[in-house]
């Protein structure tokens, strides 16, 4: 990462200053750190991009492990029908993650499950599943977004990091009234069923997409790594309008063990 940051013009003293401040800040993530240390915004975004791009591994995305298929594969197979009926699926995705694993997985699954040309699969996904990255993403995907210039790849270079970093937005940069949050709130308020997977339940994030003002009780949430006290806090914030998993399952096992999304 240091080499990449150097190639982007960040000198060793600037990089060391950033690393020191971050490691001594007590922040839980680079995102949280940058919320208050906007003076490190440029190098911070570059560091986020350089750290995450290596995880956009196409082989790993489809790999099976001893536990079986991934949660993405489970979800796709639950939705998987004839292409002519794919539009009957009612799914919207709101994500705070920068990576593009969800859309990449579905693009490739549609192509290979239904023997569709890449462009046809992209049109099908784009027209039927609304995917919102509220804090941006690691660049636009060429096939899905038209004009996107960074494919799903682990290739870390000055150029790929610049593209990815330019598409990232942290909380402090985001206007809570921005269009992306309005769209997210609209999806949340109009949803028949809401499922929170791998969500940290950050109070600001919950408020900005309308989870704390839900009028429905049809909301379920995974709690992997959370304590009972943390679950109680989330319940209070949402006025007990969410059914939190008491077993702490990860996303895959949460979907297996709870009757959500019709599964």
pLDDT tens by residue, 190-231: 998 999 999 989 888 899 899 998 887 789 999 999 999 999
Residue 61 lies in a domain: no
Phi-psi region of 87 (alpha: psi -120 to 50; beta: other; left: phi over 0): alpha
Strands 243-244 and 194-196: unpaired
Whether 134 and 249 share a structural domain? yes
Whether 71 and 16 share a structural domain? no
User: Which stretches of the chain drop beneath a pLDDT of 70?
Assistant: 147-148, 172-177, 259-263
Note the pTM of the prediction, 2 decimals: 0.89
At residue 188, the pLDDT reads 93
Whether 194 and 182 share a structural domain? yes
Whether 146 and 208 share a structural domain? yes
At residue 8, the pLDDT reads 86
Whether 100 and 196 share a structural domain? yes
Q: How far apart are CA 151 and CA 159, in angstroms?
A: 12
Whether 86 and 1 share a structural domain? no
Strands (E), the chain: 91-95, 129-133, 194-196, 219-221, 243-244
At residue 174, the pLDDT reads 63
> Using CB atoms within 10 A of its CB, is residue 51 exposed (0-12), middle (13-18) or buried (19+)?
middle
Here the contacts of 114-122 (C-beta below 8 Å, separation 24 or greater) are: 114/82, 114/83, 116/83, 118/143, 119/143
Whether 80 and 24 share a structural domain? no
Q: How far apart are CA 17 and CA 39, in angstroms?
A: 11
Give me the domain span that covers residue 103. 67-150+174-257
Residues 6 or more apart whose Cβ sits within 8 Å of residue 185: 208, 209, 210
Query: CB–CB of 109/117 below 8 Å?
Result: no
Q: How far apart are CA 222 and CA 244, in angstroms?
A: 6
Residue 137 lies in a domain: yes
Residue 71 lies in a domain: yes
At residue 263, the pLDDT reads 53
Whether 48 and 106 share a structural domain? no
Q: How far apart are CA 103 and CA 105, in angstroms?
A: 5
Please give the tally of structural domains in the chain: 2
Which CA distances in Å does 135 have to 17, 27, 86, 193? 25, 18, 28, 23
Residue 52 lies in a domain: yes
Q: How far apart are CA 254 and CA 198, in angstroms?
A: 10
Q: Any idea what the Cα angle at residue 175 is, between residues 152 and 43, rounded to 5°?
A: 50
Whether 81 and 3 share a structural domain? no
């Amino acid at each position: 990462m240091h080499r990449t940051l150097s190639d982007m013009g960040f000198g060793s003293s600037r990089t060391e200053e950033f690393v020191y401040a971050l490691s001594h800040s007590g922040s839980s993530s680079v995102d949280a750190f940058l919320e208050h240390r906007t003076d490190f915004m440029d190098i911070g975004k570059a560091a986020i991009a350089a750290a995450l791009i290596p995880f956009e591994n196409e082989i790993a995305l489809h790999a099976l492990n001893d536990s079986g298929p991934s949660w993405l594969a489970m979800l796709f197979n639950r939705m998987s029908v004839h292409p002519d009926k794919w539009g009957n699926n009612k799914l919207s995705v709101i994500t705070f993650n920068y990576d593009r694993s969800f859309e990449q997985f579905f693009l490739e699954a549609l192509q290979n499950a239904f023997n569709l040309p890449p462009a046809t699969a992209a049109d099908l996904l784009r027209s039927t599943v609304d995917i919102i990255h509220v804090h941006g993403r690691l660049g636009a995907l060429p096939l899905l977004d038209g004009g996107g210039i960074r494919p799903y790849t682990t290739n870390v270079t000055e150029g790929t990091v610049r593209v990815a970093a330019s598409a990232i937005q942290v909380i402090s940069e985001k206007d809570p009234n921005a269009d992306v949050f309005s769209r997210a709130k609209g999806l949340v308020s109009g949803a028949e069923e809401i499922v929170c997977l791998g969500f940290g339940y950050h109070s600001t994030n919950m408020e900005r997409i309308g989870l704390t003002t839900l009028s429905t009780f049809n909301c379920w949430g995974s709690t992997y790594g959370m304590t009972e006290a943390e679950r109680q806090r989330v319940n209070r914030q949402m006025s007990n309008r969410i059914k939190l998993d008491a077993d702490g399952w990860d996303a895959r096992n949460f979907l297996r063990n709870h009757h959500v999304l019709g599964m």
